[in-house]
């Protein structure tokens, strides 16, 4: 019996939707789960907004809680003017959070366990912040690279390091989400595999001994649900912070 902890991340081609040059574009299981995620969010939000009751029902209060949560996070990091960015941050948060939570369901595919997805999201944030910063501040935007109160003779080095660290942001932004999801799911699979391995190789003693890894699996599962939410939150809050930095350079 073999355990393949990586197998769950396989991209499977479901059907072909088009062709660019020699490269065929397929509708994959990843795309299917993205559609599922968007569908869940749409149902939650549209269904929540449909009733518009003064005393919210179940759906409506869920929608209101998510709205209030993201809105208050945004207000506390970026102030009221940050609400301009609410649609972007809310979409990012909901997409990552729901797709991660769907991903912890057994047999489901985790979209954000592929770095191309998280990198695309992080680059979206990066370029949005960059373009908006330039649009708002013009050339003053470059003051983000020049911290105030630095002696002139080490300024070039500091500016160079600041530029470097600015371009590191999308990398750490994307790798953080991707690595968390990947590592968590692999750990989950490996520990769950121990149960079956023990039982098959040692018989009854093994099945009884398998309780220990099973308990661990359950614990990790709980942790994974927490991480799924937390990573979406971290992604959203860092987006707020980056946006804030770009709008108020010269810190």
Partner 1 sequence: MARGFRLSSELIAGVVVGAGIGWGIDRLLSTSPFGFIVFFLLGFVAGVVNVVKSAGVVPRNRQ
Residue bearing tokens 């149960």: 195
CB of 231 to partner 1, least distance (A): 7
Give strand pairing partners of 20.
23
What minimum distance in Å lies between the beta carbon of 113 and partner 1?
15
Smaller CB separation from partner 1, 206 or 248: 248
CB of 143 to partner 1, least distance (A): 12
Q: State the residues that interact with partner 1 by CB under 8 A.
A: 148, 160-162, 164-165, 167-169, 171-172, 175-176, 179-180, 227, 230-231, 233-234, 238, 241, 244-245, 248, 250-251
The rounded distance, in Å, linking the Cα atoms of 144 and 84 is: 21
Task: Retrieve residue 36's tokens.
Answer: 């599922």
Choice between 184 and 213, CB closer to partner 1: 184
* Identity of the residue, 78 or 98, whose beta carbon is nearer to partner 1 in the bound complex: 78
Whole-number minimum distance, CB 22 to partner 1, in Å? 28
Q: Is 241 exposed, middle or buried (0-12, 13-18, 19+ CB in 10 A)?
A: middle
Closer residue to partner 1 (CB): 96 or 198: 96
Q: In the bound complex, what is the minimum distance in angstroms from residue 39's beta carbon to partner 1?
A: 28
Check residue 81 and report its DSSP letter. G
**In this structure, are residues 38 and 95 in contact, taking their beta carbons and an 8 Å threshold?**
yes
Query: What distance in Å separates the CA atoms of residue 236 and residue 94, rounded to the nearest whole number?
Result: 9
**What b/e readout covers 34-67, taking b as 16+ CB neighbours within 10 angstroms?**
bebbeeebeebbeebeeeeeeeeeebbeebeebb
Residue reference for tokens 């991660």:
100
Q: How far is the CB of 220 from partner 1 (least distance, A)?
A: 12
CB distance 230 to 66 below 8 Å = no
Minimum CB distance to partner 1, residue 244 (Å): 7
- Please say which residue, 127 or 160, places its beta carbon nearer to partner 1: 160
Residue 63 or 70 with smaller CB distance to partner 1 = 70
Q: CB nearer to partner 1: give 63 or 177.
A: 177
- 130-134 — which CB contacts under 8 Å span 24+ positions? 130/246, 132/243, 132/246, 132/247, 133/246, 133/247, 133/249
């Amino acid at each position: 019996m073999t355990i393949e902890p990586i197998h769950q991340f396989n991209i499977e081609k479901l059907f072909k939707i088009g062709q660019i040059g020699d490269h065929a574009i397929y509708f994959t299981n990843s795309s299917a789960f993205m559609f599922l995620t968007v569908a869940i969010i749409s149902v939650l939000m549209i269904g929540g907004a449909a009733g518009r009751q003064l005393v919210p029902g179940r759906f409506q209060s869920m929608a209101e809680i998510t709205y209030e949560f993201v809105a208050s996070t945004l207000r506390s990091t970026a102030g009221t003017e940050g609400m301009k960015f609410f649609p972007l941050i809310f979409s990012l948060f909901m997409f990552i959070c729901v797709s991660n939570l769907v991903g912890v369901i057994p047999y489901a595919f985790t979209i954000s366990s592929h770095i191309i997805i998280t990198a695309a999201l992080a680059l979206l944030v990066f370029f949005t912040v960059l373009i908006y910063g330039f649009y708002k501040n013009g050339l003053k935007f470059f003051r983000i690279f020049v911290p105030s109160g630095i002696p002139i003779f080490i300024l070039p080095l500091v500016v160079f390091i600041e530029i470097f660290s600015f371009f590191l942001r999308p990398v750490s932004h994307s790798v953080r989400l991707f690595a968390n999801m990947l590592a968590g799911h692999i750990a989950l699979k490996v520990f769950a595999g121990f149960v079956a391995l023990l039982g098959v190789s040692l018989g009854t003693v093994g099945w009884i001994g398998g309780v220990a890894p099973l308990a661990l699996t359950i614990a990790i599962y709980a942790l994974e649900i927490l991480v799924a939410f937390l990573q979406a939150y971290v992604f959203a809050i860092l987006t707020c912070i980056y946006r804030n930095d770009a709008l108020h350079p010269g810190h």
